[in-house]
């Protein structure tokens, strides 16, 4: 099941209105076939519109959304996902994630993962998973659902935040990892180590950072509003880094986290 998640997709965090419509349209036009959105992004309807207008058959696309923390209660998760489906103009998404663990454990994990499993059983989503889960939270989730039912854990991971403890645990459990903010909000683009590797390959630093994640078996979902960057990012899949280059990037770890909202963040590993 885990292998069915595409290695490369389009992220839409912080993209709204016409900006997200253009980004999705351009991405699909240059060859993307996976799109990642979320209820809290406030752009599901625009993503749905862009997909509908693209002419790309729904069957060719892998569509991910994430359930917001306000909708975790057993009676509200499924209705909220149905609302997302309506906005996205589809009868089923390919993957639905729990966006963050319930703040302060306000809704017990067994309740919201149970509701998510019910959504899958009802055919509203093909796969289910989690996002921003630590080792401890993921261990609890595996106890509830079983590792084989958790299609991915989507977490922040970049050359500056390599998340090795969590990544090793997930590899051991057979849970797939999806990296978001792989470029650390553009902070890695000026890194001299990445620049030197990029120069050696005639590539961009963004391509090197994305290739580094892909080469470790992670999925990536970078976003961009520029067509040329969307196309260039996609080409990272063709870039192969040497063992020495991977080792040099490993030295860039600095525990630098971009997504760390005080009201939501768990006790990170």
Predicted pLDDT of residue 261: 96
Which residue do the tokens 């922040």 mark? Answer: 156
Task: Please give the structure tokens belonging to residue 230.
Answer: 């969307």
Q: What string of H, E and C letters represents the secondary structure of 75-125?
A: HHHHHHHHHHHHHHCCCCEEEEEECCCCHHHCCCHHHHHHHHHHHHHCCCE
Tokens of 233: 């990012």
How much is the average pLDDT of 255-262? 96
99 is in an annotated binding site: yes
Q: For residue 111, is it within any domain?
A: yes
Confidence at 6, pLDDT banded by 50, 70, 90: very high
Domain that holds residue 83: 2-186+217-224
Residue 78 located in a structural domain: yes
Per-residue model confidence as pLDDT tens digits over 105-136:
999 999 999 999 999 999 999 999 999 999 99
CA distance 211 to 136: 29
Query: Is 2's pLDDT higher than 50?
Result: no
End-to-end CA distance of the chain: 26
1, pLDDT greater than 90 = no
- 140: domain CATH number? 3.20.20.100
Establish whether 180 is a catalytic residue: no
- How many CA atoms lie less than 13 Å away from 245 in the CB half-sphere? 21
The predicted structure's pLDDT at residue 4: 84
Residue 242 lies in a domain: no
User: Mean pLDDT over all residues of the chain?
Assistant: 97
**99 in a domain, yes or no?**
yes
Q: What is the pLDDT of residues 28-47, one digit of tens each?
A: 999 999 999 999 999 999 99
Whether 100 is in a domain gets the answer: yes
Q: Is the pTM of this model over 0.95?
A: yes
pLDDT tens per residue, range 136-151: 999 999 999 999 999 9
Q: Specify if 55 maps to a domain.
A: yes
**Does 3 have pLDDT greater than 50?**
no
pLDDT at residue 154 above 80?
yes
Catalytic residue among 41, 112, 160, 218: 41
Is there a domain that residue 107 lies in? Answer: yes
Sequence-distant (6+) residues with CB within 8 A of 175 are 2, 138, 142, 147, 150, 152, 153
Please give the tally of structural domains in the chain. Answer: 1
In a domain, residue 238? The reply is no
Q: Is the Cβ–Cβ distance between 177 and 170 less than 8 Å?
A: yes
How confident is the model over 209-220, as pLDDT tens digits?
A: 999 999 999 999
Whether residue 192 has pLDDT greater than 50: yes
């Amino acid at each position: 099941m885990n292998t069915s998640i595409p290695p490369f997709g389009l992220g839409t965090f912080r993209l709204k209105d016409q900006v997200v419509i253009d980004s999705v349209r351009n991405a699909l036009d240059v060859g993307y076939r996976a799109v990642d959105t979320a209820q809290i992004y406030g752009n599901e309807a625009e993503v749905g519109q862009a997909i509908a207008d693209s002419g790309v058959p729904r069957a060719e696309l892998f569509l991910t959304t994430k359930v917001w923390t306000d909708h975790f209660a057993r009676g509200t998760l499924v209705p909220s996902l149905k609302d997302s489906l309506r906005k996205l103009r589809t009868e089923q998404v390919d993957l639905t994630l729990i966006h963050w663990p319930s703040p302060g454990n306000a809704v017990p994990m067994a309740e919201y993962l149970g509701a998510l499993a019910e959504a899958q059983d009802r055919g509203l989503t093909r796969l289910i998973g989690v996002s921003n889960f630590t080792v401890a939270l993921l261990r609890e989730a595996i106890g509830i659902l079983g590792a084989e039912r958790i299609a991915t854990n989507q977490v922040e991971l970049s050359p500056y935040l390599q998340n090795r403890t969590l990544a090793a645990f997930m590899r051991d459990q057979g849970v797939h990892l999806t990296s978001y903010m792989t470029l650390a909000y553009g902070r890695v683009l000026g890194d001299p180590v990445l620049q030197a590797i990029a120069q050696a390959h005639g590539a961009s630093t963004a391509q090197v950072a994305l290739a580094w994640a892909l080469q470790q078996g992670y999925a990536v979902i970078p976003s961009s509003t520029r067509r040329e960057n969307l196309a260039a990012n996609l080409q990272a899949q063709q870039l192969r880094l040497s063992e020495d280059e991977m080792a040099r990037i490993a030295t860039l770890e600095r525990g630098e986290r971009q997504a760390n909202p005080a009201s939501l963040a768990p006790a990170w590993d």
